[in-house]
Chain A
Amino acid sequence: MRSRAWIAWAFMTPVLLVMAVIVFYPLAVGVFQTFTNIDATNQGTRFKPPSWEFVGLQNYIDILTGEATKFYPVLAWTVIWTVVNVFFHYTIGLALALALNQRFRGRTTYRLILLLPWAVPAYITAISWLFIFNGEYGLLNNILGVFGLPSVAWLSTWPWYYIMPIIVNVWLGIPFMMVVLLGGLQSIPGDLYEAAQMDGASPTQSFWNITLPQLKSVSTTVILLGCIWTFNIFVVIFFITGGGPGGKTEILVTYTYNGFTLGQYAIAATYGVLIFSLLLVFSSVYRRLAREA
């Protein structure tokens, strides 16, 4: 036993060292900064000595009481954004996976085409969608024009400025769900369906009583991953709406990024810790519920 543990540690040491340098140390610095008022002007550089001070929990108090920041509106939209996106990712992904699990001609080609959104870098997808949404000359408005309808400034008109980035992110997120769920579907033993058929179960009954329960472990994992990724996806909001109009579509990560670009390091770091804590609590609660169910 003892010698085996030694080998395990020997293998882990390089990884731990790298992790310590590029993950744990910055994380610790980030957490430390949340208790200070450090910003671009007082951080201390080679030109100026540092002049920041400890402020205790003041940053957390300011943010959580809504003083001078918009934590709660941003959090509310981030949660809606995550739930709506993951719902469509999962349902559309599952529907496509079920379709692709059938035997039909050209199935491989369809799979490749449906994987395409995943293969294209997300920011290129986002910029392409921007051409479609353009308020004056976009494809969508041109199509409306053909039918004699007035054009819409999609990215500055309620509720479209909420809907448009969701459309883009749903488009981006489906392939991953589809591939993983397809893998899950293919691992369900075929004799379960045969037995169900013998018992006279309808396809709908098979779906609810065999497919979904058999997919449970895959589903819980991809939904958890999907939630964390969507909660933290930066490029879609950044490129499609830029957080606008007037900051209304800002999600927590883009809001945090703004703090960094404005040099408000302490506030931005506090946001980072809050996002991390939220996701940590969410993940553990979710896992526990999934295990109990």
Chain B
Amino acid sequence: MAGVAIVAAACSSGTASTAPSAGAPSAAAPSAGAPSAAAPSSGSAELAYKGEITLWNTQRDIENVELQKEVQAWQALHPGITVKTDLVPFDGADKKYTDAANAGSAPDIFRADIGWTPTFADAGMLLDLTSLFPADFQKAFLPAPMGTALYKGGMYGIPQVTDALGLLCNKSVLTTAGLTAAPTTWDELVSAGTKVTDLAAKKYGFYMRGDSYWAQPFIWGWGGTLFTVNDQGLVTNIGVNSPESVNGWTYLKEKILGTVTPATWDFKTDYDNMNAGFKAGTTMCILQGPWQVADILKGEAFTDPTNLVIAKVPDGVNGKTGSPVGGHNWVVNVDVGKDADKAAAVASFLTFMTAPEQQAILAKSLGLLPTNTAAYAIPDVASDPLINQWNAVLAAATNRSGVPGASAIYDSFTKNYQSFIIGDLTAQAALDATANTWETTVFKNQMAQ
């Protein structure tokens, strides 16, 4: 079950602008000394508010353990305030939060997927945090994740974590396949992968998923887009069914499926199966995000962690790559704004939770990517080989501006993608059907003109 939740956790970003994410963490790391964001938090300045702050956490258990430690550390600095956290399964958490917000019973703080943040902000459920934080607070964060928290001039969240899909490879299997580094193009992956693939023996050069989030690199890598958005947040063009996308998906089906990975597979359990094969050392490469690395390192193939190689998603044609950026923001219930003391306490708590030192702990213990640029300069993080490899992935990843409701694109997208895999629809028909649903249902009220 955990697997299901994480899968969806990744399904957050969504689209289209082909510009790579602006913020390569490494480039921004040594900026401006200790950011002001960190300073006020850790001090034990008295807060006027006494009582409870409620928080809904959508993390997995191993992450929640670390979160609880941080919560306790903050509580120790501020006696009289209790942060009451509830673990809410990621799957369906957006619906649950929406219902609670409409009923006036939403928690004070919520860990929202970056794709949900503009939807909630647009609905009026979230507190604009701009005035609660110092003026230069935003500058302490990587621009790409911070961008997902901004909506129509307001700051509706504080980036908690960022991620992107990368190519994770087993170094010793790469060697067997005749490679010295992770493949940089899909052609290279396929030709090397066939040497180590034996479908009947469940040995794979690659393992694919039946979730459309994982099918996006085969659109971006061939020069395709999902949809484009203008300055007003309106959808100007749905390009998911462009010839480029069709070419990418055709390549996936003809060159990859049935060659280095099964032609069809169990979509319901593929997330866990993909990880299981990779951990056991029977799969050469998979597409995964940083959130799963701590678990993967527990696998027998990675008792030596240096056997894990992380690289950017391979190029499709003409040197194009594409990897969806995901992540989560801490968002605050609009009702918190009615109590200035409480709002100050919440701001102090979130400043603490997103401070470089705290994010560095998560980076080191769980391999999660910090959003606070200064965290990357902390020696433990700066010297972490895995985090450094992820930086290269993030630098090449595909970011986009938020549109309310955009996370709803994946439902029809995945259905049509699966119909394509099992041979019910051609690539063109599957992508046309997806574009049609987006235009007539998902973005019905948000189409430009």
- Chain A interface (Cβ within 8 Å of chain B)? 40-41, 45-48, 68, 130, 133-137, 150-151, 153-158, 240-242, 244-248, 258, 261-264
Residue of B nearest to A161 (CB): B422
Interface of A (DSSP majority class): loop
Q: Known: A247-B415, A264-B441. Is A48-B266 also a contact (CB below 8 A)?
A: no
Of B265, B411, B415, B418, which one neighbours A135 at CB under 8 angstroms?
Answer: B265
B277 CB within 8 Å of chain A: yes
How far is it, in angstroms, between the C-alpha of A46 and the C-alpha of B125 when the chains are bound?
9
Residues A261 and B92 in contact, CB atoms below 8 Å apart: yes
Leading 7 A-B pairs by shortest Cβ distance:
A135-B266, A47-B124, A246-B419, A246-B418, A245-B418, A136-B273, A45-B102
- Closest chain A CB from B91 CB (angstroms): 10
B152 CB within 8 Å of chain A: no
Residues A262 and B411 in contact, CB atoms below 8 Å apart: yes
Residues B123 and A245 in contact, CB atoms below 8 Å apart: no
- Chain B interface (Cβ within 8 Å of chain A)? 92, 95, 98, 101-102, 104, 123-125, 199-200, 202, 210, 262, 264-270, 273, 276-277, 334, 405, 408, 411, 415-422, 424-425, 440-441, 445
How far is it, in angstroms, between the C-alpha of A134 and the C-alpha of B266 when the chains are bound?
7
Of A150, A244, A262, which one neighbours B267 at CB under 8 angstroms?
Answer: A244
Complex A-B: 15 CB contacts under 8 Å = A41-B405, A45-B102, A45-B123, A136-B269, A136-B273, A155-B267, A156-B266, A245-B210, A245-B421, A245-B422, A246-B415, A246-B418, A247-B418, A247-B419, A248-B419
How far is it, in angstroms, between the C-alpha of A123 and the C-alpha of B342 when the chains are bound?
42
Q: Known: A156-B210, A246-B422. Is A134-B273 also a contact (CB below 8 A)?
A: yes
- Closest chain B CB from A46 CB (angstroms): 6
How far is it, in angstroms, between the C-alpha of A150 and the C-alpha of B201 when the chains are bound?
9
A residues within 8 A CB of B411? Answer: 258, 262
**Which of B123, B267, B268, B417 counts the most A-chain CB atoms under 10 A from its CB?**
B268
Residue of B nearest to A264 (CB): B441
Of B262, B415, B425, which one neighbours A153 at CB under 8 angstroms?
Answer: B262
A residues within 8 A CB of B101? Answer: 45, 47
Residues A130 and B264 in contact, CB atoms below 8 Å apart: no
How far is it, in angstroms, between the C-alpha of A242 and the C-alpha of B7 when the chains are bound?
15
Of B199, B277, B405, B422, which one neighbours A156 at CB under 8 angstroms?
Answer: B422
Q: Known: A156-B421, A245-B210, A246-B424. Is A47-B268 also a contact (CB below 8 A)?
A: no
Residues B266 and A155 in contact, CB atoms below 8 Å apart: yes
How far is it, in angstroms, between the C-alpha of A248 and the C-alpha of B268 when the chains are bound?
13
B residues within 8 A CB of A150? Answer: 199-200
Residue of A nearest to B126 (CB): A47
Residues A46 and B104 in contact, CB atoms below 8 Å apart: yes
B residues within 8 A CB of A242? Answer: 267-268
Q: Known: A47-B124, A156-B418. Is A40-B98 also a contact (CB below 8 A)?
A: yes
Residue of B nearest to A48 (CB): B124
Q: Known: A150-B200, A264-B441. Is A47-B210 also a contact (CB below 8 A)?
A: no
How far is it, in angstroms, between the C-alpha of A135 and the C-alpha of B419 when the chains are bound?
17
- Closest chain B CB from A247 CB (angstroms): 5
Residue of A nearest to B199 (CB): A150
Residues B267 and A245 in contact, CB atoms below 8 Å apart: yes
Residues B200 and A153 in contact, CB atoms below 8 Å apart: no
Residues A155 and B422 in contact, CB atoms below 8 Å apart: no
Residues A137 and B419 in contact, CB atoms below 8 Å apart: no
New A-B pairs, 15, CB < 8 Å, besides A155-B266, A244-B268, A248-B419: A41-B445, A47-B125, A48-B124, A136-B277, A155-B267, A156-B210, A156-B422, A240-B268, A244-B415, A245-B418, A245-B419, A246-B420, A246-B421, A247-B419, A248-B424
- Closest chain B CB from A127 CB (angstroms): 8
